[in-house]
């Protein structure tokens, strides 16, 4: 089982600091989550039904009906290798660890973002996160469509995880879903801040969706989660306000890191990633101040999520200021 961010209880035990005293910046989840409306009793009492309006809300949001609701994009990440053929699988050197884990029985090739184009004609499946997690690199729509066309022309597949694209959805492949050999993964966990609901969507051609639905079985998403997702996807006013607020917060975080730590942070509106030779020491020092960030060993780096309020912004700024000399 791979380790992920958000393991706040484990950190509280490890450092002997009360759970309530922690600030969790380890996940890249919107700290100002969508305010889910009250649940009707039948959401708990009845089995989920496919015609409850969730598909309609998702189709309007993503710009396509070629989609399948799943229990978070993680469910699809684990299931897709059993449904997609191809021995040679190309992934980025640094990316969401569950992707190479899922494809580990194939011939994996890891490459830098600027080397993907050269690898296209020698691969069967290209798996990307766009924006990439944790580095924040983005691939333009025209380039992705070109890669898909080159792969599909000889039976290859393009799988793109767009878990972090909602804060700035320009360039999403979602409207192009339904093309043969193209799979797009979306999630409500990050932008909407509803990670606990475990709701995601697989956007793909009908044949693949049917096989995936058969593999995952009925009632993949609970009634309460479907209710929350339907409301969030339909609330365009909240989405617009959240995008503006997140863009400002993301830039504020990048500026704060540039002020206090060497190096150049990069990322998305929801997180900033900072390569740093003393990442382990920084992670430890922040944890002792009850601030949890995500640490990566290869390359040595940290990912910072967004503080939830002004008190947390001040607390992070003070901690980084205190650590500026010891970890410079």
For the record, the structure tokens of 265 come out as 């942070």
Where a domain ends, among 192, 209, 234? 234
Q: Is residue 172 located within the same domain as residue 276?
A: no
> Concatenated DSSP letters for 238-277?
HHHHHHHHHHHHHHHHHHHHHHHSSS--EE-SSEEEEE-T
In this structure, is residue 68 part of a structural domain? yes
Q: Is residue 96 located within the same domain as residue 172?
A: yes
Nearest alpha-carbon partner for 274 in 257, 298, 251, 288:
257
CATH number at residue 178: 3.40.640.10
Where a domain ends, among 234, 250, 277? 234
Q: What total number of domains does the chain contain?
A: 2
Q: Say which DSSP state 39 is in.
A: P
Q: Is residue 137 located within the same domain as residue 251?
A: no
Q: Is residue 105 located within the same domain as residue 224?
A: yes
Q: Is residue 19 located within the same domain as residue 55?
A: no
In this structure, is residue 38 part of a structural domain? no
Q: Domain residues for 268?
A: 8-28+237-323
- Crossing angle for the helix pair 54-62 and 223-234, nearest 10 degrees? 40
In this structure, is residue 109 part of a structural domain? yes
Q: Is residue 106 located within the same domain as residue 138?
A: yes
In this structure, is residue 174 part of a structural domain? yes
In this structure, is residue 198 part of a structural domain? yes
pLDDT tens-digit map of 167-225: 999 999 999 999 999 999 999 999 999 999 999 999 999 999 999 999 999 999 999 99
Q: Is residue 125 located within the same domain as residue 250?
A: no
Q: Is residue 188 located within the same domain as residue 278?
A: no
In this structure, is residue 105 part of a structural domain? yes
How many CB atoms within 10 Å of residue 19?
Answer: 12
3-class SS of residue 297: strand
Nearest alpha-carbon partner for 134 in 93, 193, 191:
93
**The predicted structure's pLDDT at residue 262:** 87
Q: Is residue 114 located within the same domain as residue 224?
A: yes
What is Dmax (Cα atoms) for the chain? 58
pLDDT tens-digit map of 19-40: 999 999 999 999 999 999 999 9
Where a domain ends, among 212, 234, 256? 234
**Residue 271 to residue 30: CA distance in whole angstroms:** 9
In this structure, is residue 1 part of a structural domain? no
pLDDT tens-digit map of 112-150: 999 999 999 999 999 999 999 999 999 999 999 999 999
| Residue 271 pLDDT > 90 | yes
Nearest alpha-carbon partner for 87 in 102, 107, 104:
107
In this structure, is residue 137 part of a structural domain? yes
Q: Is residue 167 located within the same domain as residue 267?
A: no
Q: Give the model's confidence band at 317: pLDDT under 50 very low, under 70 low, under 90 confident, else very high.
A: very high
- Crossing angle for the helix pair 310-323 and 279-287, nearest 10 degrees? 130
pLDDT tens-digit map of 177-187: 999 999 999 99
Q: Is residue 93 located within the same domain as residue 136?
A: yes
**Percentage, residues of the chain above pLDDT 70:** 97
Q: Is residue 173 located within the same domain as residue 254?
A: no
CATH number at residue 291: 3.90.1150.10
């Amino acid at each position: 089982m791979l380790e992920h961010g958000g393991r706040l209880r484990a950190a509280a035990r490890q450092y002997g600091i009360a759970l309530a005293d922690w600030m969790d910046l380890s996940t890249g989840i919107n700290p100002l989550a969508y305010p889910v409306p009250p649940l009707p009793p039948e959401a708990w009492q009845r089995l989920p039904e496919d015609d409850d309006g969730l598909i309609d809300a998702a189709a309007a949001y993503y710009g396509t009906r070629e989609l399948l609701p799943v229990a978070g994009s993680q469910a699809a990440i684990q299931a897709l290798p059993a449904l997609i053929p191809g021995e040679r699988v190309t992934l980025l050197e640094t990316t969401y660890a569950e992707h190479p884990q899922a494809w580990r029985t194939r011939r994996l090739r890891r490459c830098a973002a600027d080397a993907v184009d050269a690898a296209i004609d020698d691969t069967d499946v290209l798996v990307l996160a766009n924006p990439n997690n944790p580095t924040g690199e983005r691939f333009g729509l025209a380039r992705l469509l070109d890669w898909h066309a080159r792969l599909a022309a000889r039976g290859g597949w393009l799988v793109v995880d767009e878990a972090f694209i909602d804060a700035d959805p320009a360039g999403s492949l979602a409207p192009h879903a339904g093309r043969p050999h193209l799979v797009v993964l979306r999630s409500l966990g990050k932008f909407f801040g509803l990670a606990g609901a475990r709701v995601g969507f697989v956007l793909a051609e009908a044949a693949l969706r049917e096989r995936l639905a058969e593999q995952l079985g009925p009632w993949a998403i609970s009634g309460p989660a479907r209710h929350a997702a339907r409301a969030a996807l339909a609330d365009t006013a909240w989405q617009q306000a959240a995008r503006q607020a997140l863009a400002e917060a993301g830039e504020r975080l990048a500026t704060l890191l540039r002020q206090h730590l060497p190096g150049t942070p990069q990322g998305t509106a929801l997180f900033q990633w900072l390569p740093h030779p003393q990442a382990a020491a920084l992670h430890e020092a922040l944890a002792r101040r009850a601030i949890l960030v995500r640490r990566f060993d290869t390359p040595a780096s940290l990912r910072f999520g967004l503080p939830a309020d002004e008190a947390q912004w001040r607390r992070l700024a003070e901690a980084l200021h205190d650590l500026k000399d010891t970890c410079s």
